[in-house]
Amino acid sequence: MIPMVNLKAQYADIKTEIEAGLAETMENCAFILGSNVQAFEQEAAHYLGVKHAIGVASGTDALHLALLAEGIGEGDEVITTAFTFIATAEAIRYVGAKPVFVDIDEKSFNISPAAIEQAITSKTKAIMPVHLFGQPVDMESIKQLCDQYQLKIIEDCAQSFGADINGKQTGSFGNAAGFSFFPSKNLGAFGDGGLVTTQSDETAEMLRMLRNHGSRERYYHDVIGFNSRLDEIQAVILRAKLKRIDQYNQRRRKAAYLYSQLMADLPLQTPIEDSFGTHVYHQYTLLCDRRDEVMTALQAKQIACAVYYPVPLHKQKVFADDCRNVSLPVTESVSDRCLSLPICPELSEHNVHEIVSVIKSALK
């Protein structure tokens, strides 16, 4: 059996270090916004090259609070991709704004800057690019558009921790960015967790209030906030894994290259890396017209595989009213043919060979 990710193997590797940190936290009993959260925020800010990193309860909350802190709300339009996880658009709806879905680039699967420009109206307030599957979005083009039309950028970095463009990390380009520490993400906690990054002191101060009941000082409340703090116990895990994130991402890239090399001659399209950035392969996602046959063959051998995402957001029931006339041909074609294979730092070369040989015989 080969799972999509092998969290067990990753745990075994860092068990001693984590257990010491957890034991100490339980002795100290400082469970909420304690020293590990503070230290993790500093270490993450340093790694990501941003002025502020604020721990929150999930990636979804990170995006929600980032939009709120940037003043996006009722009557505003936010342009984003329909080829993403639902949380990207949920966050836009939570603040009362309208998600406007535009098409993607066929090669990178990321939002198309040209499509964004066509969708800008007088109501557009922000663009929410998603660095999908770990591949950085073309941020230079997006920044240019945002300067020209005076729009904000909220990056969805849930799948891109450690990905960079010419050495500059995703999450350091926008007005704010949201990261997720859902266990299967490139940097995963042992439960839910998230992070917002920003270069703005003002946005950071608002975020620190929003995550903690609108309070700067205990029992004094300036705005209506939330209970959305990163847990101290999760911060212990994240500090241990942050030290190793480059090594983890390097191993993902190595596995991805081996897959692509071994499948070069098969009737499918292996992932295409944009030349300007470093892909961290949160997912290894290929396109194949005979997807069903490949999936059946893999499942028969107990090899996991998954379709991310089978129904793009503009085709979801929840957005039916908003999207009646929306047609996104590239997104639709990609979601009909995409298939994600197991990938994680612990995936062995042997596993990759095994998986490819099953795909090869399925496509004979």
Ligand X SMILES: *Cc1c(COP(=O)(O)O)cnc(C)c1O
The residue ranges that bind ligand X (CB under 6 A) are: 58-60, 84-85, 87-88, 130, 156, 158-159, 180, 182, 192, 194
Q: Which is nearer to ligand X, 330 or 363 (CB)?
A: 330
Match 């068990």 to its residue by tokens. Answer: 15
Residues paired with residue 156 on neighbouring β-strands, in sequence order: 130, 178
| DSSP character string of 246-313 | HHHHHHHHHHHHHHHHHTTTSSSB-----TTB----SSEEEE-TTHHHHHHHHHHTTB--B-S-SS-G
**Segments in 70-200 forming alpha helices (H):** 87-94, 113-119, 139-149
Nearer to ligand X, 48 or 358 (CB): 48
d(CA 117, CA 42): 36
Which C-beta is closer to ligand X: that of 56 or that of 295? 56
Task: Give the nearest distance from C-beta 178 to ligand X in angstroms.
Answer: 7
- CB of 174 or CB of 352, closer to ligand X: 174
Nearer to ligand X, 92 or 358 (CB): 92
**Shortest Cβ 128–ligand X spacing (Å):** 10
**Residue number closest to ligand X, CB atom:** 59
Please, which residues have CB within 8 angstroms of residue 278's CB and are 6 or more apart in sequence? 136, 163, 164, 165, 253
Q: What is the DSSP letter of 112?
A: P
Beta carbon nearer to ligand X, 159 or 175? 159
Helices (H), 2-123: 7-28, 35-48, 59-69, 87-94, 113-119
Closest distance of CB 256 from ligand X, Å: 18
Cβ 140 to ligand X shortest distance, Å:
21
Residue with tokens 């092998």: 6
Distances (CA, A) of 353 to 192, 342, 343: 33, 12, 13
* Min CB(286)–ligand X separation in Å: 18
Nearest distance, CB of residue 324 and ligand X, angstroms: 25
In the complex, minimum distance from the CB of residue 180 to ligand X, in angstroms, rounded to a whole number? 3
Cα–chain-centroid distance for residue 86?
A: 12
Nearer to ligand X, 89 or 262 (CB): 89
